[in-house]
Amino acid sequence: MSQAKELNQRIRALGQLTPSESKIADYFSRNYWNLVFENTTSISDNTGVSKATVVRFISKLGYNRFSAFIEDLRKDFVEGQGSLPIRYYLKKKLLASEGEKDVLGHSFSHITKNLQNTHARIDQDQFWEAARLIARTQGAVFITGQRSSYALAYLFYNMIHRIRPACNLIGSQTASLPDRLIDVGSDDLLFAIFRHPYAKTTLRIAQHFERCGAPIILLTDSAFNPLQNQACVQLEVNTEGVSIFTSSAAVVAVLESLNTAVLKFCDDTLYQRLEKSEALYNDFEVFCPGKSLNAERIAKLKRKD
């Protein structure tokens, strides 16, 4: 049961309300998703009743202190943010209340904070272990992400498959998943981007890898995700932002950093692989002509090494 329904039931269970209590109950009902931002003073100001009456009403609802009441609301608020209509309502109201004009600056500020917090959250040993596994896994590396995470999975796949052979992207076509997973073995590796709301398809893919004895690397937004016990390496990122959608900036930063870290575990055969790759792109004329390193400049760089 959501906290909103539980709160309404608690209020109804009180029976007959005083006029002041009715004002508070009505305000709670109409402004439930804003209550997490409030305190006894703001509720008193918005309802026209005394702070003492607000405190007594919260106590009658079964909370021994106001902070316990807010804590319950926060739990529901975190879960409710998975709903786009609720996120739209909250974000728009927040922007309006702040009178925000520089949305770009506001967004960049959140992104910077996400990057800093993500850097602090990720254990360096776990990060390097993830890079080592990606580079040195004997079998194939499978990369997946569903829903909004699929684009991020594709981005990472596009970087990693250029660096190492036997790299596979698991798409979102559920009907073809058995064909993609039939040859998975214990020497393979799954790299999964797993963010709230957690996609069941990613969960089932990871469970299959676990049954096969294959290691799993998770890039996730919570230490308490449904796959927390299945991952051998778990990297946690901050994803909150000013948009109604979760932010992907820190996710992309970690993916790019991992791509760089993997190079530490590569040998000189990678240079030959990249040369072959570039030749193929040129043969197929994949890209428009543009500025690039010519053969003479490449030779100079190699001599310096």
Domain with residue 187: its CATH number is 3.40.50.10490
Q: What is the DSSP letter of 229?
A: T
What the block records as the tokens of 51 is 């702070």
**pLDDT tens digits, 23-69:** 898 788 777 767 877 899 999 999 999 999 999 999 999 998 898 88
Rounded Cα gap, residues 304 and 298, in angstroms: 10
108 is a domain residue: no
Residues 148 and 72 placed together within one structural domain of the fold: no
Report yes or no: 188 and 140 within 8 Å, Cβ to Cβ. yes
85 versus 125: the higher-pLDDT residue is: 125
pLDDT for 130 equals 98
The pTM assigned to this predicted structure is: 0.69
Strands 189-194 and 216-220: parallel
The pLDDT mean for the chain works out to 85
Query: Quick one: what percent of the chain has pLDDT higher than 70?
Result: 83
236 is a domain residue: yes
Report yes or no: 231 and 264 within 8 Å, Cβ to Cβ. no
Residues 70 and 131 placed together within one structural domain of the fold: no
Domains held by the chain: number: 2
Strands (E), 156-246: 167-170, 189-194, 216-220, 233-236
Report yes or no: 238 and 121 within 8 Å, Cβ to Cβ. yes
pLDDT band at 281 (very low <50, low <70, confident <90, very high): confident
Rounded Cα gap, residues 130 and 219, in angstroms: 10
pLDDT for 26 equals 79
pLDDT band at 101 (very low <50, low <70, confident <90, very high): confident
156 is a domain residue: yes
The radius of gyration computed from the CA coordinates of the chain, to the nearest angstrom, equals 26
pLDDT for 1 equals 43
Among 23, 56, 80, which residue terminates a domain? 80
Helix 19-30 to helix 3-13 angle (10° resolution) is: 170
Q: What is the CATH number of the domain that holds 25?
A: 1.10.10.10
Residues 261 and 132 placed together within one structural domain of the fold: yes
Among 49, 80, 111, which residue terminates a domain? 80
Report yes or no: 36 and 74 within 8 Å, Cβ to Cβ. yes
Long-range contacts of 98-104 (CB under 8 A, 24+ apart): 103/242
Report yes or no: 249 and 111 within 8 Å, Cβ to Cβ. yes
Residue 196 domain boundaries:
123-267
116 is a domain residue: no
pLDDT band at 95 (very low <50, low <70, confident <90, very high): low
Residues 64 and 162 placed together within one structural domain of the fold: no
pLDDT for 106 equals 77
Residues 50 and 139 placed together within one structural domain of the fold: no
Least confident of 148-152, 233-237, 278-282: 278-282
pLDDT for 109 equals 85
Beta bridge partners of 167: 141
pLDDT for 218 equals 97
Q: What is the DSSP letter of 34?
A: G
217 is a domain residue: yes
115 is a domain residue: no
pLDDT for 292 equals 59
pLDDT band at 91 (very low <50, low <70, confident <90, very high): low
Rounded Cα gap, residues 246 and 238, in angstroms: 9
- pLDDT beyond 50 at 92: yes
